[in-house]
């Protein structure tokens, strides 16, 4: 009887130890954020994406062409997206035709010549041709703009 009791006590202790090990196995993993990725890590070759953004040389911005094709009455239509980094100021060459800028995320300001326009979601802004443009991201997040350009050929 005593041996049986000892066996039971021993088995219970072993079970408790195993239970505690289960709990502590990876107690802290997954509870906090991961450290920033090391610079030594290889850049992951992701599955191909359709029309990735490309950095705009010398600017804290990236862009991509979504559409380029003939429009009506001897015009050319170009649709581009422009990503502007937080706090960045980006200069664009004067547009060859009239355009429209639609803000998709973030907020900022457009300077077209002497004109200043706020950029925000659901607030499209017309852009005149022939004047230098300046885009300023005044937010902490990226500013994503879609530019619809109509130029005469």
Partner 1 sequence: MSGRLSLAVWAAALFGCGTAAQAADDDWPHYRRDESRSGEQRHFSDLADPAKVPGLAIRWQWPPTPAGVGGAFYASPIVIDGRVFIGANNGKFYALDANTGALIWSYPPSPQPPLIGSCGSVGDVQAFGAYGILSSASPYKNTIVFGAPDPDPAVDGGLGSARLFALDQSTGALVWKSDVVARVNGCAFGATAEQHERIAYSSPLVHGDRIYVGIHDAGDDPIQNGKLIAIDADTGRIRPAFNFEATSARGGGIWNAPAAERDDVLFTTGNTSDGVVSEPVPNHGLSMMSVEARSGAINWQFQPVPFALDDDPDWAAGVSTERTGCGRIAASVMKDGWSYALDANNGECRWQFPATVPPSDHCRFPASGAHVHGDTDYKRPGAFWRNTFAIVTGGEALVAAGGVFNGYGRLHGLNVCAASPSHRVRWIADVPHNGGGGYALGAPTATHGIFYITTDQGHVVAIADPAVSPPAGVRCSQVLTPVASCTALGFSLVYAPAVLADVALTDGADAAGLRNEPAIANGRLFVATQGGHVYMLSP
What are the beta bridge partners of residue 90? 135
The count of chain residues that interact with partner 1, using the rule CB under 8 A, is 63
Minimum distance of partner 1 from residue 80's CB (angstroms): 10
Buried b (16+ CB within 10 A) or exposed e, 114-143: eeebebeeeeebebeeeeebebbbbbeebb
Q: Which is nearer to partner 1, 90 or 112 (CB)?
A: 90
Interface with partner 1, residue 53, by CB under 8 A: yes
Site membership for partner 1, residue 68 (CB under 8 A)? no
CA atoms of 108 and 139, how far apart (whole Å): 7
Closest to 90 (Cα-Cα) out of 66, 113, 57, 64: 57
By CB under 8 A, name the binding residues for partner 1: 11-12, 14-23, 25-26, 29-34, 36-38, 41-47, 49-55, 60-62, 64, 66, 79, 81, 83-86, 88, 102-106, 121-122, 137, 140-144, 146
């Amino acid at each position: 009887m005593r041996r049986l009791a000892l066996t039971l006590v021993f088995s219970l202790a072993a079970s408790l130890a195993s239970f505690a090990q289960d709990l502590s196995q990876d107690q802290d993993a997954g509870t906090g954020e991961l450290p920033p990725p090391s610079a030594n890590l290889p850049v992951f070759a992701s599955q191909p994406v359709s029309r990735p953004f490309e950095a705009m040389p010398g600017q804290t911005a990236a862009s991509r062409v979504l559409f380029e094709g003939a429009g009506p009455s001897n015009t050319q239509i170009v649709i581009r997206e422009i990503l502007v980094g937080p706090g960045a100021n980006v200069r664009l060459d004067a547009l060859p035709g009239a355009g429209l800028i639609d803000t998709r995320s973030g907020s900022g300001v457009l300077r077209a010549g002497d004109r200043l326009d706020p950029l925000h979601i659901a607030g499209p802004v017309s852009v005149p041709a022939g004047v230098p443009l300046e885009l300023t991201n005044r937010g902490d997040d990226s500013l994503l703009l879609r530019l619809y350009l109509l130029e005469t050929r």
